[in-house]
Every structure is written in C-alpha cells, then in structure tokens.
C-alpha cells in the first residue's frame, strides 16, 4: 500500500493562533503546525513516492528469490538430516535419528543401506520407505510403522519389532535371525529368501504372507501366531520351528 499522498496546504499560523483560547496550548499547537508544514512539503516530493514504489518492488523480488532458492533449502535440510544419522551410526539411543529419518522419508529420499544398528527408534514412522540393505542389527523399533517398506536384503538380526505395523513389508532375503517380532502385523509380508532362525513370531498376524521360499526357520517361535496359513505352520514345524509360550511383557 502506498502511504505517500498529497496534502492540503496548512493554514497560516495567524489563523490558528486566533482560535486558541488557552495560552498554554500555544506551544503544543505551534509544534504541530510546524510538522504539518514539513509533511506538506514532503508530500509534494515525488522522490518519496518513487521510494515507496521501490519498497513494494523489493518485497516482490524477495518473494521471487525465496521460492527460487527453495530447492537449496531442501538440500540443506536433507544434508543436516543425514549428518544426524551418520554421526550417530553404530551408537545406542535416538540421537535425533527418528525425526531425521521421518523427514527424509516424507520427502521421498531413498534410505538404501542406512546404518541404524543399535539405534533406539521406538515408534518411528517409515511407511513406504526404501530401506534396501539397511543395517538394523539389534535396533529397538518397538511400535514402529514400516508398512509397505522395502527391507529386502536388510540385516535385522536381533532387532526388536514388538507391536510393529509391518503390513505388506518386503523382507526378501532379509536376515531376521533372533529378531523379536512378537505381536507384529506381518499381513501380506514378502518373506521369500528370509532367514528367521531363533526369531519370535508369537502372536504375530501372519495373514496372506508370502512364505513359500523362506530360507530357514530353525527354532523360530510360532506360539499363538494368528491367521497363519496352515501350510506354513506345518512346513515350519517340520523344519525346526517351535511353539513355545514366551513372556510377552
């Protein structure tokens, strides 16, 4: 909005003085009258109007630059997220990795080969993430959401997935030896080539799993597994799986 506007010529001081009833008001009104003249002369200075137009134009330029540099800001944000993840590599605790991973995944960034071993990532939401060949050895991922994520060829040995949403997850050729999958939702999971030795699938939802090329199930616990294909249960028990009740706390 242009604030610069033409002003009417102020009255003469004699005209104003003639209307003043109280002498004490004279200094105040004289001061105001002086500034009215200053404002009057400035309102007739075209240069100030030009400056106002230039000010509005500079705002437009700033907006254009803001959007033109949005790609650089996104790159900087991703770089910072990767720094957080890589700095904490191989260490316990979260270290800000939950937020960093979720931000990268939300922006469609591939997480192929990421090292999250020993990390505390309870409740992390990485649905649909590309975690091909990721290392999550001994990571704590309880109550996570990894539905439709790609964890093919990943190292998930000894990881804790209790209560996780793993619907439609891809676990082809993944190492799940010793993983705790108690109570997980594995419905529709792809397990072709996966190794499940010593894994705990107690109370897990195994509806519609792709199991026919599972690599190994030695000492895999299937106690209380829900909706599992009977053929899978029969095959697994013949190939070393067990059904032993475990402490679910």
Instruction: Note the pLDDT tens digit of each residue in 178-199.
Output: 999 999 999 999 999 999 999 9
pLDDT bin (cut points 50, 70, 90) of residue 42 is: low
Q: Span 110-138, mean pLDDT?
A: 97
* pLDDT score, position 70: 62
Report whether pLDDT(35) > 80.
no
Is the separation of the CB atoms in 191 and 214 below 8 Å?
yes
Instruction: Domain ranges for the chain, please list them.
Output: 13-68, 89-244
Q: Span 45-66, mean pLDDT?
A: 66
Closest CA to 165 of 139, 191, 192, 146: 146
* pLDDT score, position 135: 97
117-146 burial: b if 16+ Cβ within 10 Å, else e: bbbbbbebbbbebbbbbbbbbbbbbbbbbb
Query: To which residue do tokens 């240069």 refer?
Result: 47
Task: For residue range 134-148, list pLDDT tens digits in order.
Answer: 999 999 999 999 999
- Coil, strand, or helix at residue 103? helix
Q: How crowded is residue 32: how many other Cβ atoms within 10 Å of its Cβ? A: 11
CA dist 148 and 190 (Å) reads: 10
Task: For residue range 85-95, list pLDDT tens digits in order.
Answer: 999 988 888 88
**Contacts made by residues 230-233, CB under 8 angstroms, sequence distance 24+:** 232/206
- Coil, strand, or helix at residue 165? strand
- Which CATH number does 89-244 carry? 2.160.20.80
Mean pLDDT of the chain: 87
Residue 101 has phi, psi (to 5 degrees) of: -65, -45
Q: What is the DSSP letter of 24?
A: G
CA dist 197 and 84 (Å) reads: 33
Range with the largest mean pLDDT of 7-21, 44-58, 111-125? 111-125
């Amino acid at each position: 909005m242009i604030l610069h506007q033409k002003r009417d010529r102020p009255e003469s001081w004699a005209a104003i003085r003639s209307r003043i009833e109280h002498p004490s008001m004279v200094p105040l009104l004289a001061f105001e009258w002086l500034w009215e003249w200053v404002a009057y002369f400035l309102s007739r200075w075209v240069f100030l109007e030009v400056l106002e137009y230039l000010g509005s134009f500079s705002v437009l330029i700033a907006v254009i630059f803001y959007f033109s540099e949005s790609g650089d800001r996104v790159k900087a944000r991703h770089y910072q997220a990767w720094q957080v993840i890589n700095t904490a590599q191989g260490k316990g605790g979260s270290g800000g990795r939950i937020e960093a991973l979720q931000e990268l995944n939300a922006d469609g960034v591939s997480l192929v080969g990421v090292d999250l071993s020993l990390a505390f990532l309870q409740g992390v939401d990485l649905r649909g993430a590309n975690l091909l060949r990721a290392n999550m050895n001994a990571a704590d991922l309880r109550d996570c959401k990894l539905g439709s994520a790609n964890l093919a060829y990943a190292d998930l040995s000894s990881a804790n997935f209790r209560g996780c949403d793993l619907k439609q997850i891809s676990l082809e050729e993944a190492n799940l030896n010793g993983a705790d999958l108690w109570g997980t939702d594995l419905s529709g999971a792809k397990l072709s080539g996966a190794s499940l030795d010593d894994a705990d699938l107690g109370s897990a939802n195994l509806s519609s799993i792709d199991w026919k090329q599972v690599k190994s199930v030695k000492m895999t616990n299937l106690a209380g597994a829900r909706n599992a294909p009977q053929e899978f249960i029969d095959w697994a028990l013949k190939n070393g799986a067990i059904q032993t009740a475990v402490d679910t706390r």
